[in-house]
Amino acid sequence: MPPPRPLSLITGASSGIGAAFARQLATLGHDLVLTARRVDRLETLATELRGQHATRIIVLPHDLSDPATPRTLCDALEQRGLQVDWLINNAGYGVPGTFVANGWATHADFLQVLLTAPTELAWRLLPGMRQRGHGRIINVASLAGHVPGPAGHTLYAASKAYLIKFSQSLALENRAAGVNVCALCPGFTWSEFHDVTRTRDKMDKLPGFMWLSAEEVVHQGIAAVERGDAVYIPGRVNRTIKAAIQLLPDRLAMWLSARESKRYRNTQI
């Protein structure tokens, strides 16, 4: 049985999908642990939610590119006697340009944030969920993990494909123990993501029907993990894209990816 007031740990909670998870889970009666690098954003969000809901909110600013952060976070929770019921692995970003255009340190930080940190957090928090017989893990992946990897942002699609397969395995391993795991795979979502990657001018040229709000992505994601969906793509357009790509020969799918990626990826060295 779920606890009367579940505790949710949300990474990348300072904006976008992470902040939307915080708002919706607080509305559902969850206590929250919010983590990200921007402490001012986290404190502003915490103040907003404390004023709207009778919920406990703990702000733990950390940088997930530091390999020590997952253990540090979990140690801080244990010292407070807190048990995480929902883990939202949301932190992520894109690295513009081609693979060799960026230094290895940039790629290493990216892999730490998008691959190693969510994997380690799940490893550290899953035993407690299994012991209590209830838990939820949402790994925020992407539609990009279902389609051919484009030129530019080279590691992004690859990292999201990993999260999808990882989530499927975890879902199968832990469902009987009362723990549901879901890879949430949004397509284009209104957020700061494309401002950070300096592709906003390209993204604004895409038609409006291809976009979802962060709030809608989160609403559908929460419903999906509660249903026990191991993988969920929000939005009919995004599900159609995934289905169509799967029907195409690899060569044609790669050609389409190369053509379309020029519209929204920075492929310059």
* Residue among 71, 77, 151 at smallest CA distance from 116: 71
Count: domains in the chain: 1
| Residues 152-165, mean pLDDT to the nearest whole number | 95
pLDDT digits (tens, 9 = 90+) for 202-229: 555 555 656 799 999 999 999 999 999 9
pLDDT of 194 above 90: no
The enclosing domain of 172 has a CATH number of 3.40.50.720
Cα distances from 209 to residues 70, 188, 213, 236, in angstroms, run 37, 10, 11, 10
- Structure tokens belonging to residue 136: 């939820």
From residue 191, how far is each of 40, 142, 175, 200, 213 by CA, in Å? 18, 14, 32, 10, 8
Assigned domain for 60 exists:
yes
**Domain assignment present for 173:** yes
Burial (0-12, 13-18, 19+ Cβ within 10 Å), 56: middle
Q: In this structure, is residue 127 part of a structural domain?
A: yes
Q: Which of 156, 162, 232, 264 is an active site residue?
A: 156
Q: 136 forms bridges with which residues in the sheet?
A: 86, 180
The residues that bridge with 206 in the sheet, in sequence order, are none
pLDDT for res 252: 86
pLDDT at residue 196 in the model: 52
In whole angstroms, give the CA distance from residue 52 to residue 241: 38
* The pLDDT of residue 197: 47
Q: Is the pLDDT of residue 193 over 70?
A: no
In a domain, 220, yes or no: yes
Average pLDDT, the chain: 90
Boundaries of domain holding 107: 7-261
- Express each pLDDT in 26-75 by its tens digit: 999 999 999 999 999 999 999 999 999 989 999 999 999 999 999 999 99
Q: How far apart are the C-alpha atoms of 92 and 160, rounded to whole Å? A: 10
Inside any domain, residue 1:
no
Catalytic site includes residue 93: no
| Per-residue pLDDT reduced to its tens digit, 101-111 | 999 999 999 99
Q: Quick check: 76 pLDDT over 50?
A: yes
Compute the average pLDDT of residues 150-157: 90
DSSP letter (8 states) at residue 56: -
- Give 224-267 pLDDT, tens digit per residue: 999 999 999 998 899 898 998 888 888 888 888 777 776 666 65
